[in-house]
Structure 1
Amino acid sequence: MTRAGMIWVAVSVGLVLLVLLIIFILQNQDRVTVQYLGVAGELSLGMALFIAAVAGGLLVTIAGAVRILQLRIQRRRPAGRLPASAGPAATGGHEPTSGP
């Protein structure tokens, strides 16, 4: 499959998911009271669930981005070099001595 074909399939699947999401929100129009950190508000059940799903997705995205950055930093660091914060514990606890 060509790159253009893959993009077309991805856009089509995305549009189908958006239509299903719109149907879900329209079918769940009951008003609910939502409380968060002492702030209360009223909105439709479908919208409240949608906001919760987006917030969860953002948290997962942030955690994934942090992990990717950690792995990139680790990959760029030379293999034989110890980090700057490495002390005697990182070298096995043995420091060279100059006497008996």
Structure 2
Amino acid sequence: MTQTPRGFDPHDSKDALSSQHPGAADAPSAEEGHNTRPPSDGTDLVSGAPADSPSAQRVETPREGAPAAETRQVTRAGMVWVAVASALVVLILLIAFILQNQEYVQVKFFGLQGSVPLGIALFIAAVGGGVLVAIAGAARIIQLRLAAHRARVSRQAGQGTRRR
């Protein structure tokens, strides 16, 4: 049965190094000056009791002076930076797509006919679809704002008649 030495912290680079490289555990640490490897006879490091006994159970105590976990605050500037970075990545991928699809294709639209590079034709189609979605979204937003305005006006009118 493998035992973990008391005070082992897998997030500590020194402890993580010794757990990843078994040979590194044989060398004494510079701070402690002793071997951190568990005894091979199956006894507990703290109590000296057999590892299977209830007295071998150890209680973890938090380290003194350990820094508290930092909480990151999301700011508008951070969100804008992420949005701009994401948009630049998409734009670079879009440019690569257009450059790789330079073959001319015949395009027909409502009686108009022409020859356009495939990448440009697909880009124009995607922008057209985005415009249609934006128009539908704007119409729905206007519809919801009008409904909220009507509800607000009727609520204010109802409160005005009760006061008299």
Deviation at 1:78, TM superposition (A): 3.2
Deviation at 1:5, TM superposition (A): 1.1
Quick one: distance in 1 between partners of 2:117 and 2:84? 28
In the other structure, the counterpart of 1:51 is 124
What is the TM-score of this pair, normalised by structure 1? Answer: 0.76
Identity among equivalent pairs (%): 60
In the other structure, the counterpart of 1:13 is 86
Quick one: distance in 1 between partners of 2:88 and 2:108? 32
What is the TM-score of this pair, normalised by structure 2? Answer: 0.47
> Any gaps of 5 or more consecutive residues in structure 2?
1-73, 155-164
RMSD of aligned C-alpha atoms? 1.5
Structure whose CA Rg is larger: 2
| 2:134 is the counterpart of 1:61 | yes
Structure having greater relative contact order (Cα 8 Å, sep ≥ 6): 1
Compare the two structures and name the one with the higher helix fraction. 1
Compare the two structures and name the one with the higher strand fraction. 1
Report the number of matched residues.
81
Amino acid in the other structure paired with 1:13: S
The secondary structure found in structure 1 opposite 2:102 is: coil
> Any gaps of 5 or more consecutive residues in structure 1?
82-100
Structure 1's consecutive aligned runs of 4 or more residues displaced over 3 angstroms after TM superposition are: none
